[in-house]
Amino acid sequence: MDEVVLVDASIDATRTMAHACLPDIRVVDQTGPGKGNALRAGFAAAHGERIVMMDADGSMSPTEIPHFVHFLDNGYDFVKGSRFMGGGGSLDITRLRHAGNWGLLTAVNLLYHSNLTDLCYGYCAFDRRFMEHLDLTADGFDIEAQMTIHALKAGLRIAEVPSLELPRRSGRSNLHAYSDGKCVLRTILRDRPRNGSSQLQRTFGNDRSGTHGAGLTNEA
């Protein structure tokens, strides 16, 4: 049976509006600050065997969910939305964020021998049985990178599907390109394979974070 879980820490009318739109929605209190904390609270509260995570600001369309589930139905363990592969796109990303995503994505592909096309995008789906392998601890925006890195390290079969990021319909983004970019980079470096550290340090030795990606459906 399908369910919708909303993690909320707001002081506005979010809960009232959510229940008006979907009376049986489950609202979970966020226990601490940060996107990672919110996602972990939602994962812990979810009952389904399969979990689809998405932002609630209107930038991600629920009509894309069947594409994610299709890959889970056909042998994949972790499915990522990609704005930078054929059929995907973004009507919201800034040049700075685009550049940062590309640099961080390049670091992950170098270190983890992958060929992903997007990293810092929060539209994902996975089977609950792999939750312990994802080993999520991040509280901030680095949660998305941590999920992907741990999925790669665990040897999960990963698929990317094209996704269109729409302009957010409400609220303001709490993302800070430089500080959050450094946080994501630290997460990438912390779990890196030791034999790849020297190459990455040469590339990102000045603690820079750069952005973007493009490609085809990926399997890892």
Spell out a b/e string for 196-215, using b for 16 or more CB atoms within 10 Å of the CB, else e: eeeebeeebeeeebbbbbeb
* Residue 9 in domain: no
Lookup result for tokens 């901030």: 140
Give CA separation, 102 vs 64, 95, 97, 119, 198, in Å.
23, 11, 9, 8, 20
Residue 189 lies in a domain: yes
149 assigned to some structural domain:
yes
The pTM of this model reads 0.81
Instruction: For residue 53, give the 3-state DSSP assignment.
Output: strand
**How would you class 131 by CB atoms within 10 Å of its CB: exposed for 0-12, middle for 13-18, buried for 19 or more?**
middle
Hey, how many other C-beta atoms are within 10 angstroms of the C-beta on 63? Answer: 8
| Residue 220, in any domain of the structure | no
State the first-to-last Cα distance of the chain, in angstroms, to the nearest integer. 30
| 90 part of a folded domain | yes
Can you tell me the distance from the alpha carbon of 181 to that of 140, in angstroms, rounded to the nearest whole number?
11
Angstrom distance (rounded) from CA 7 to CA 31:
10
Q: Please give the sequence-ordered ranges of beta strands (E in DSSP) within 93-152, or none if there are none.
A: 124-127
We report the CATH number of the domain holding residue 130 as 3.90.550.10
Domain presence at residue 217: no
- Whether 32 is covered by a domain: the verdict is no
CB burial of 70-97 (b: ≥16 within 10 Å; e: otherwise) equals: ebbeeebbbbbbbbbbeebbbeebeeeb
Residue ranges making up the domain that contains 165: 51-204
Total domains, the chain: 1
Would residue 41 count as lying in a domain? no
- The letter for the amino acid at 109 is N
3-state DSSP call for residue 183? helix
Going by C-beta distance under 8 Å and a sequence separation of 6 or more, which residues neighbour residue 200?
107, 110, 111, 189, 192
DSSP three-state, residue 209: coil
- Residue-level pLDDT at 12: 83
Digit-by-digit pLDDT tens for the chain (220 residues) are 789 999 988 888 888 999 999 999 999 998 888 899 999 999 999 999 999 999 988 899 999 999 999 999 999 999 999 999 999 999 988 899 899 999 999 999 999 999 999 999 999 999 999 999 999 999 888 999 999 999 999 999 999 999 999 998 766 666 667 787 888 889 898 877 665 443 444 444 444 333 233 334 344 4
